[in-house]
Structure 1
Amino acid sequence: TYVEDMAATVPYAARIFDPALWRADQPLRVVLIGTDFQVRVWEALLRIPMGRACTYSSIAAGIGAPSASRAVGAAVGANPMSFVVPCHRALGKSGALTGYHWGLTRKRAILGWEAGQIGS
Structure 2
Amino acid sequence: MSTIVKFALRVVVLAVIIYVVTQLVSGITVIGNTEGTFGEVGTYLWVALLFAVVNTLVGPVVRLLSLPFVVLTLGLFLLVINAALLGITAAISDRLEVDGFWTAVVGGFLIALFSWIAELVLPLEVKR
TM over 0.5: no
Q: TM-score, normalised by structure 2?
A: 0.30
Q: TM-score, normalised by structure 1?
A: 0.31
